[in-house]
Amino acid sequence: MFSKTTEYGIRAMIFIMSNSLQDKRVRLKEIAAAIDSPESFTAKILQNLSKANVVDSVKGPHGGFEINKDKMQTLTLIDVVIALDGNKLFEGCGLGLKACNSEKPCPLHQHFLEVRTKITAMLVENKIIDLAQDLQTGLSFLKQ
Amino acid sequence: MFSKTTEYGIRAMIFIMSNSLQDKRVRLKEIAAAIDSPESFTAKILQNLSKANVVDSVKGPHGGFEINKDKMQTLTLIDVVIALDGNKLFEGCGLGLKACNSEKPCPLHQHFLEVRTKITAMLVENKIIDLAQDLQTGLSFLKQ
DNA sequence: TTTATTTAAGATAAACTTGTCCTAAATAGA
DNA sequence: TCTATTTAGGACAAGTTTATCTTAAATAAA
């Protein structure tokens, strides 16, 4: 479903959020350890999330990653997915046809739309902050 | 969502079915032309579908691919997907955790189950024969 | 100002998916 | 039996994703 990039990205964002809730900035090393991901690859992913303004980064001693107060309440999974994978998941024909639309649909067109709607809803409805709270209360986990 | 392999595989199967409905065996060349897919790659995919007994192949002059009478009524999308991509789509954690289950769930566990259920239902409910009939009546298309 | 710490950026490598090509095997028909 | 046709199989090539490594840039603190 998701690319590795997006899997690590979502896990990283939930971990960063759980720290930002306590005003704690976290370093790459801590993040990679907490979510059990390859450090350098995670660095690249965070770089991209930072460019996309989904997360904030600070260089130097006491630097690291954090989510600013403004975004805390609004960030959802779809922001992370779009920042990392673009609109791949939402656009294009499910069977790979170049021009598939309701006038000239592929055999799965309508069925695909329904699945896509379900996925989109899931991504829009889930706030990173809520997922981070589940993590903090021990209701969910980010590794193993 | 699907791999290129599965995209071409599904398109090929629907086309083969629409011909098998008229007792017509079709050659690789016709299939690749009909679904606008790379011929050699399509050959590999059909080879795998044939090994998995999803489609039947006949070598030599007047050879080609066909779906036998027994399977015609029962084949659904899920048979094609499993033959080509295995259980990838149905097993494993959505966030890539090695051990994610209802006891120790990832933050998306439950939400992911729902999406997966929707996808599985879509694949189980759609018979290849019905999709082929839509194609024949001009309700759907396999290329462009 | 120097040093240590930390992210940014770019080059490169490894793994996997997608795609091609060539030869072998099967078989129908002359 | 010979030839033409068609799928099977294996090797290989190209493209993409995943992952690593090295150096640069920023910045806090001594």
The residues pairing with B76 across neighbouring beta strands, listed in sequence order, are B127
pLDDT at B144: 85
Residue B20 and residue B43: Cα distance in Å, rounded? 18
**Hey, how many other C-beta atoms are within 10 angstroms of the C-beta on A34?**
19
Q: Which of A1, A107, A114 is facing B94, going by the closest CB pair?
A: A1
Q: Which two tokens stand for residue A114?
A: 């329904």
> pLDDT by residue (tens digit) across A85-96?
999 999 999 999
From A132, which residue of chain B is nearest by alpha-carbon distance?
B107
pTM, to two decimals:
0.95
DSSP 3-state helix, strand, coil percentages of chain A (rounded to 5)? 55, 5, 40
The CATH number of B4-136, from 1.20.1050.10, 1.10.3720.10, 1.10.10.10, 3.40.50.620, is 1.10.10.10
Stretch B76-95: mean pLDDT: 95
Residues in chain B within 8 Å Cβ distance of A134:
107
How confident is residue A144, by pLDDT bands cut at 50, 70 and 90?
confident
**Hey, how many other C-beta atoms are within 10 angstroms of the C-beta on B12?**
25
Residues 48-77 of A with CB under 7 A from strand C: 50-51, 57-65
From A111, which residue of chain B is nearest by alpha-carbon distance?
B122
Hey, CA dihedral for A99, B125, B54, B56, is it positive or negative?
negative
Give the domain ranges of chain B: 4-136
**Hey, how many other C-beta atoms are within 10 angstroms of the C-beta on B135?**
21
